[in-house]
Amino acid sequence: MHPATTQSSQQDGRDALRNLIVPGVFVALTLIGSISFARYYMELAPSARRGPVWPPLLIWLTCYYSWVFLAPVTFRLERRFPITRAHWPRNLGVLAAASFGMAYLGYELSNLLSAGMSYALRQPMVLSRPVWVIPARELGIHLQLYWSMVLTAWVIRNFLQSRDRERLTAKLALEKAQLEMNLRQAELDVLRMRLNPHFLFNTLQNISVLVTHDQETAGRMLTRLGDLLRAAFRHEVQSESSLAAEIELTKAYLEVERMRFDDRLSITVETDPAANEAMVPVLVLQPLVENAIKHGLRCMNGVGRIGLVSVKEGKRLIITVVDNGAGIAVANLNDIELGVGLGATRERLLRMYPDGHEFSVRKLAAGGTEVRIVLPFRAASHFEEAGVDERHSIVDR
């Protein structure tokens, strides 16, 4: 929703609530005044209860109805001098000082209403004492009504502020979720577009060379390259997919690499069947094996060996990628200058599983490097039952 539209709707809600203040005060004062009159009426002598009840009731209510007119003034006064933690002594003093003037206005206005009601109902009007004199009992009643209006204004104002805070919190949460979704989508787009251009150019060059003397290998390499590209660009919005789908994508990548390097690259993939349905970030494996191949083939006189292993241990999914290259030169992960692939993978895991993952890179005693990822195990079938449309097979056969 556009911010201007949100602010407009909030203002409309505030205006609608303020428009209900006067009718609400009228109903509340009618109820309070009627209860007060009932108690007064029951204390009268039987001889004083002759005649209809409603004329004296209406005249009685005029004492309260004066505050229907004074309520908006009181509400504005409380809004102008709110009782908050920072300014409550001063503002409470201002409200207390204004209480006597408001009580006097309420008393005089109730006298006018009472006189008008008595005239309309053809009841005798009782006018006593000068207009500038207010009996102590009447002063007490109107002071109570004034502070009741102040308390009501305080409750309504705090209710509106609380509702605005809740709306702002919900709006910020929605914007945060939208930003996170956009960020993940942007990360996926970057990962798709960064399928190593050097790898693509070399593969296409190898295919062009093989076409002349080994058309069968060239055809298989071209097919697997097509599978890889089609799988990499097939995801749209999903930030996660099943491990089985990611392994299919990785196998397509490894198959192309194997044909490129021929007998200089040995690859093993071991997958725990119980781990196949685990949910993992999209394109999480390809940067790992790409990094392993790059470092595993540093020793050009030997055979580069790459191992990809995934197992389920309790509620955890453990993925390791091992190569037999020279290994890293430092012991602390924070001291390693990660490349684009591993660096992006670590940042993605931090955002998607801030407190529920492990990511480590270490040098093996026998030589080579191990990249290890531990994720919370969540089955893809659980998401399907919840209504999430997850595609397991991302490579068309």
Give the model's confidence band at 238: pLDDT under 50 very low, under 70 low, under 90 confident, else very high: low
Q: What is the pLDDT of residue 386?
A: 45
pLDDT tops 90 at residue 215: no
- As a whole number of angstroms, the distance between CA 108 and CA 367 comes to 97
- As a whole number of angstroms, the distance between CA 197 and CA 119 comes to 96
- Asked whether the beta carbons of 335 and 318 are under 8 A apart, the reply is no
Residue type, position 199, single letter: F
Q: What is the pLDDT of residue 1?
A: 47
- As a whole number of angstroms, the distance between CA 353 and CA 292 comes to 24
Q: What is the pLDDT of residue 45?
A: 67
pLDDT tops 90 at residue 374: yes
pLDDT tops 60 at residue 196: no
Percent of the chain with pLDDT over 90: 11
Spatial CA neighbour of 306 closest among 314, 315, 297:
297
**Average of per-residue pLDDT values in the chain:** 77
Return the axis-axis angle of helices 286-296 and 340-352, rounded to nearest 10°: 150
Q: Which residue has the tokens 């659980």?
A: 382
pLDDT tops 80 at residue 11: no
Q: Please give the residue that has the higher pLDDT: either 354 or 308.
A: 308
Residue range 244-259, pLDDT digits in tens: 988 888 887 888 888 7
pLDDT tops 90 at residue 197: no
- As a whole number of angstroms, the distance between CA 120 and CA 122 comes to 6
Q: Please give the residue that has the higher pLDDT: either 334 or 380.
A: 380
Q: Please give the residue that has the higher pLDDT: either 125 or 324.
A: 324
Q: What is the pLDDT of residue 309?
A: 94
Rounded (10°) CA dihedral 308, 312, 316, 317: 30
Q: What is the pLDDT of residue 397?
A: 30
User: Which region among 163-167, 319-323, 331-335, 377-381 has the lowest average model confidence (pLDDT)?
Assistant: 331-335
Q: What is the pLDDT of residue 208?
A: 82
Q: What is the pLDDT of residue 47?
A: 67
pLDDT tops 90 at residue 303: no
Give the model's confidence band at 316: pLDDT under 50 very low, under 70 low, under 90 confident, else very high: very high
* Tokens (6 digits) for 282: 């999209």
**Contacts for 175 with CB less than 8 Å, ≥ 6 apart:** none
Please name the residue ranges forming H helices in the chain. Answer: 3-19, 21-42, 54-80, 88-120, 136-193, 197-213, 215-232, 243-261, 286-296, 340-352, 380-385
Give the model's confidence band at 388: pLDDT under 50 very low, under 70 low, under 90 confident, else very high: very low
* Tokens (6 digits) for 88: 């409550």
Q: What is the pLDDT of residue 146?
A: 92
Most confident stretch, 209-218, 287-296, 339-348, 364-373: 364-373
- As a whole number of angstroms, the distance between CA 250 and CA 232 comes to 10
- As a whole number of angstroms, the distance between CA 203 and CA 260 comes to 7
Spatial CA neighbour of 59 closest among 114, 107, 111, 110:
114
Q: What is the set of domains in the chain, with CATH numbers?
A: 3-177 (no CATH), 194-385 (3.30.565.10)
Residue 364 dihedral angles phi and psi, to the nearest 5° = -85, 150
* Tokens (6 digits) for 61: 């209510």
Burial of 124 from C-beta contacts in 10 A (0-12 / 13-18 / 19+): exposed
Q: What is the pLDDT of residue 263?
A: 74
Residue range 166-181, pLDDT digits in tens: 888 888 888 877 777 7
- As a whole number of angstroms, the distance between CA 123 and CA 117 comes to 8
Residue range 143-164, pLDDT digits in tens: 999 999 899 888 888 888 888 8
pLDDT tops 60 at residue 376: yes
Residue range 16-30, pLDDT digits in tens: 656 777 788 888 888
pLDDT tops 70 at residue 101: yes
Q: What is the pLDDT of residue 393?
A: 34
pLDDT tops 90 at residue 320: yes
- As a whole number of angstroms, the distance between CA 126 and CA 128 comes to 6
Q: Please give the residue that has the higher pLDDT: either 336 or 372.
A: 372
Q: What is the mean pLDDT of residues 291-304?
A: 69
- As a whole number of angstroms, the distance between CA 295 and CA 326 comes to 7
Residue range 41-87, pLDDT digits in tens: 777 767 666 777 778 888 888 888 888 888 888 988 988 888 887 77
125: left (phi over 0), alpha (psi -120 to 50) or beta: beta
pLDDT tops 90 at residue 377: yes
**Contacts for 337 with CB less than 8 Å, ≥ 6 apart:** none
